[in-house]
Structure 1
């Protein structure tokens, strides 16, 4: 019924009924950008695809108070770089990021250890500089590529 029962009907007018629109044909992946078959593309600049990866940014906020940064390091750069590593780890396992992924990423670069080895601190300082900026995507990709799947505990 198109109108509620408490609304009076106009005399002489038939009640209107809803008609569905005509059914269209089935959906097909026929547009140029749609991938219908085969694996996802991989290579430089494609990153590491996985479900719900933006959740890693929310999880990273929990680690910020624990970070052991040097004087020239910025929280924004460190979080951006380590989130990328965490997303890589999660995608290797085929799932969304969890807190353990961020723990591994921050631990790998020594950000959760105030007594991190000097060589690790020296290498990360130059690598992470600018990763949190609006043009930091290539830097974040380089950070993720520096960490091997074996170091992330990939299956």
Structure 2
């Protein structure tokens, strides 16, 4: 059915096709106030950025039933502390976190060892105490900074053997800063 004569009919508009916007004469530059012009800042407590870091929290929940917690230790503290270490490991390799990163982190602190030494348990109880609380971010960053890149580059079985279930980390943490 044809449209009545009083209805506007612009047939030229229907024949149009896509036209790109006009060319920008100048290249884009990072001139906004919050732009990082010199790259990602580095230093104590700043960490290493990496992609899809929230995925590590989901992966950590898969280890809940395997963690060997001692009396006085909280599951949330162990997860938050070890997730930070796992994220550091993933960022060193330039990728998103995977289950192996969490396994390495839990092994470093003896959470996957059926009977960790009493000195390791006492040390990690103090180190991880309350770390899951949001106000303890500085303590969480210090915990992550205790672990060297060399320890994190090792595959999971070698990590536990090389560190003796965290004994090397305990010695490093007791050194003066």
Query: Quick check: 1:130–1:139 contact (8 Å CA) kept in 2?
Result: no
Greater percentage in helix? 2
Give the TM-score of the pair, scaled to structure 2.
0.73
CA drift at 1:45: 2.8
Specify every segment of 5 or more residues in structure 1 that has no aligned partner in the other structure, as ranges.
1-6
Give the TM-score of the pair, scaled to structure 1.
0.83
Specify every segment of 5 or more residues in structure 2 that has no aligned partner in the other structure, as ranges.
155-177
1:6-155 aligned at under 5 Å gives the runs 9=3, 11-14=7-10, 23=22, 25=24, 27-36=28-37, 38-153=38-153
RMSD in angstroms over aligned alpha carbons? 2.4
Deviations for 1:53-72, whole angstroms, at most 9, x for unmatched residues? 11111100100111110111
Indicate the residue corresponding to 1:3 in structure 2: none
- Distance across 1 between alignment mates of 2:2 and 2:64: 63
Deviations for 1:12-48, whole angstroms, at most 9, x for unmatched residues? 3425568979658453211121123x44110123112
Q: Which moved more, 1:96-105 or 1:133-142?
A: 133-142
- Distance across 2 between alignment mates of 1:8 and 1:153: 74
Decide whether aligned partners of structure 1 residues 20 and 149 sit closer, same or farther in structure 2, where only a CA change above 3 A counts: same
